[in-house]
Structure 1
Amino acid sequence: MAFIRENEAKCGLFGLRCIVSGVLVATLAGCSLWSSGAAKPVPADLGANVAVLGVRQAWTNRIGSVAGLPLDIHTAGNVVTVASSDGIVAAIDARTGGDVWRAALAEPLSAGVGSDGKSAAVVSRSNALIVLDAGRERWRQSLAAQVFTPPLVAGGRVFVLSADRSLAAFDAATGHKLWSQQRSGDPLILRQAGVLLAVGDTLVAGFAGRIVGLNPDNGSVRWEAPLASSRGTNDVERLVELVGRTSRVGDSICARAFQTAVGCVNAARGSVAWAQPANGADGVHGDGEALFGAESNGTVVGWRRSDGSRLWTTDRLKHRKLTAPLLLGRSVVIGDDTGLIHLLSRTDGSPLNRMATDGSGIAAAPAVAADTLVVVTRNGGVYGFRPD
């Protein structure tokens, strides 16, 4: 685990990236907790796959490698929008697996993809916000800092949360900047997607350990809810950051603070409903009754959404480097770094089925569109699964 400042050479070493503001950027989720000479933990034996819930592969597509890209699989109706590290952006019909449109930007991306079903937005590694309409570039705007969170396209605007903890809004039709807000915070920030979503007429963003509600028209703060706080004596120990994905049900928003806590806030009142200690690096998902997530060691946890009490835990997937989950019907769907998709019972975490992909690892939290479970691998395979 190490950190490199912007003015030092070879900023790509050890999975780290530097940003123009001089803020230190860290990729901590994969940091080893054992010495180089010690044996790494062995993943739990999965045993034979007993398919309690029948699932079949319906189609495949390809997008190109997404290694190093904090990818979000965006869904709108029957359309799934994805992007690759080298600048391919594609809208895929979840019913057939065929392209609706595809664009090659010919430049690497640092964040993607956001969409409202019409316009799609990504950010390049050269800090350009690029907006596409039906696969054609509509406009681009230069940004002052790197971006790892997919832009939010909503209400005729494009919202961008940058790694220097600034938040900006642009007109989706013209690219004109409407407003920007700058927040202070600790000197470290994660190189992964944060929290950015719309809840009614409120723009909700994660800043350090706080979920903040803002007026989308001018960026003024309506409320702040502290989900986690900095602790420790050095920059690494004080690092606190909210990570995607989130779970929203009505005014309830649940999120994870990196390696610190899981909790829910009430967006109508701007208050914390509950927060529980948790040691995970990726987001959560759930419904009005339950919330699910994976700890950094691969333990999968279910919490009661009303108060945060634990429903169950399972170590069946321990040491498998899991994605954030997707709650889909009776299943908690989660991917691992070997390319397997696991379906666990929402009731007790018992296995319902598992499916293989290309073995390169699942790159993003699974998504659903048109009754199809969609996953993307690090090598760029896009897979659609449906129940038998």
Structure 2
Amino acid sequence: MMSFTSSTVRRSLWALAVGSAALALTGCGSSKPSPAPLEALKPSARLSVAWQNRIGDTSADLGLVVAGGAVTAVSTGGTLAAWELDSGKERWRTQIDARISAGAGSDGRHAAVVTQNNELMVFDQGKPAWREQLPGRVTTPPLVAGERVFVMLLDRNVRGYDALDGRWLWQYQRPGGDSLTLATRGVLAPFRDTLLVGQGSRLVGLDPTRGTVRFDVNVGTPRGTNEVERLADLVGPLARADDEACVRVFQLSVACLELNRGSVRWARPQAGTQGVGADERVVVGADGVDRITAWKMDNGEQLWRVDRFTHRGLSAPVIWGDRAAFVDNSGFVHLLALADGRTLARLELDGPAAGTPVVVRDLLLVATQKGSVYALRLN
């Protein structure tokens, strides 16, 4: 069984510090650049709050997951709750006696989180079901699917458990991986009967029942003369579009893959640190200084690029119909037209997003670092 050494933890935390610093640096200046001012806007659409609930302050990307008609979220302080998607009515709420490092994952019945003491905790409709001490730190929300719970540790060790009884089923870690890892949300996602996991700059498809490899594809070739410059982990969440998916390669590129073949369709250079949004037509992503680019999904041809949001600290985007939605560090939701990048609407929330927004049917769901969960509707 692999162990997670303290030296690996320190190296991973160092990688996170480097990534965070990259967001603030432009050239050689020592002070943080000022965010671009909000543009004068005559909105052509209107965002409104369908419902809003409180979960507690969330200082990291702890995941906001929708399954079984429920929205499930967890706060850093350990409040775990689920609400009805359509109405926001609370289904259940529980308090965990520990601070949370990763979560929540849910299939609508079981919910999983990982504490800062590296303990995997699973709940059945809000009631404790089982727990497991993990051998290392976790920053990627667990995935709950197919009556299994999947966890990826910071050293890229992936583990599968039985969701009902907590039985450890298998573990996987790609041999010969880089020693330096990125301490942020990685790729852990389902695709049909395959589990997709990020292993450095590679996307690996696993058999979820046995942990065996179905495909292993290089998404981006790291560059540089040292480990920091060559750091090119895949940044989650993965943006699915039917049988294709697009992903950010940290500080290197944006790439789209054909999942049935396990092959890269195209890749375009963009030095960013946040995930991307995608549907069957368009891929959208922001670089490290928040210049936003849109590409055609089928061939990677650039559609448009805007630079009016520079240094505003944009979240990963999500595609919402014919629009792309971002949340900035001041708590503003920005809604952009996919056709040309013009701003359609803007709405102020109580704080910046805690992770990537989620779109389900006609709702845009956002969890904020101030501890609110919003369901927004376009009027």
Which amino acid in 2 is paired with 1:282? Q
1:52 alignment counterpart:
44
Post-superposition offset of 1:39: 4.1
Residues 54-73 of structure 1: pairs in structure 2 closer than 5 A: 54-67=46-59, 69-73=60-64
Letter in 1 for 2:179: P
Whichever residue aligns with residue 245 of structure 1, its letter is P
2:253 matches 1:298:
no
Whether the 8 Å CA contact 2:325–2:334 is kept in 1: the answer is yes
- Asked whether the equivalents of residues 290 and 304 of structure 1 are also in contact (C-alpha less than 8 Å), the reply is yes
Counterpart Cα distance in 1 of 2:217 and 2:143: 21
Distance 1:243 1:37, change over 3 A: closer
In structure 2, do the counterparts of structure 1 residues 101 and 230 end up closer, same or farther at CA, with 3 Å as the change threshold?
same
Whether the 8 Å CA contact 2:68–2:107 is kept in 1: the answer is no
Distance (whole Å) between structure 2 residues aligned to residue 63 and residue 220 of structure 1 = 37
Q: Deviation of residue 95 (structure 1)?
A: 2.2
Query: Counterparts of 1:207-226 in structure 2 under 5 Å?
Result: 207-226=199-218
1:27-176 alignment to 2 at 5 Å?
A: 27=16, 28-31=18-21, 32-33=24-25, 38-67=30-59, 69-176=60-167
Gapped runs of 5+ residues in structure 1?
Answer: 8-17
1:57–1:386 CA contact under 8 A, matched in 2: yes
Contact 1:101 1:135 in 2 (8 A): yes
Offset at residue 98 of structure 1 (A): 2.7
Query: Paired residue for 2:377?
Result: 386
Regions of 4+ moved over 3 Å: 34-39
Q: Name the CA shift for 1:272/1:370 in 2 (closer, same or farther; >3 Å).
A: closer
1:286 to 278, 288, 305: 278
Tell me which residue corresponds to 1:185: 177
**Identity percentage over the alignment?**
41
How far the C-alpha of 1:264 sits from its partner, in A, is: 1.2
For residue 365 of structure 2, the aligned residue among 344, 363, 374 is 374
Q: State the shift of 1:196 in Å.
A: 0.9
Query: 3-state DSSP class of the match of 1:311?
Result: strand
Aligned partner of 1:250 in structure 2 is 242
Distance 2:27 2:234 in 1: 28
Distance in 2 (CA, whole Å) between partners of 1:39 and 1:159 is: 41
Normalized against structure 1, the TM-score is what?
0.91
1:230-263 CA-partner distances (Å, limit 9, x unpaired): 2211121111100112221232121111111111
Aligned position for 2:309: 317
Larger deviation: 109-118 or 92-101? 92-101
Distance in 1, Cα, partners of 2:213 & 2:153 = 17
List runs of 5+ in structure 2 lacking aligned partners: none
In structure 2, the CA distance between the partners of 1:251 and 1:372, relative to structure 1 (3 Å rule), is closer
Q: Give 1:37 shift.
A: 7.2
The residue identity in structure 2 corresponding to 1:206 is: G
The RMSD of aligned alpha carbons is 1.8
Conserved? CA contact 2:53–2:88, under 8 Å: yes
Are the equivalent residues in 2 in contact too, given 1:59–1:96 (CA < 8 A)? yes
Partner amino acid, structure 1, of 2:355: A
For the 8 Å contact 2:177–2:200, the answer to whether it is kept is: yes
After TM superposition, list the pairs within 5 Å mapping 1:333-348 onto structure 2: 333-348=325-340
- Indicate whether 1:235 and 2:227 are aligned: yes
Contact 2:290–2:307 (CA<8 Å) still a contact in 1? yes
TM-score (norm 2): 0.93
Aligned equivalents of 2:322, 2:338: Cα separation in 1: 6
Q: Within 2, Cα distance between the matches of 1:245 and 1:160?
A: 14
State whether structure 2 residue 184 is matched by structure 1 residue 196: no
Contact 1:65–1:378 at 8 Å: present in 2 too? yes
**How far apart are residue 305 of structure 1 and its match?**
0.8
Matches of 1:265 and 1:58 in 2, distance apart? 35
Contact 1:79/1:369, CA 8 A, preserved across alignment: no
Per the TM alignment, residue 30 of structure 1 is displaced from its structure 2 partner at its CA by 2.5
Match of 1:271 in 2: 263
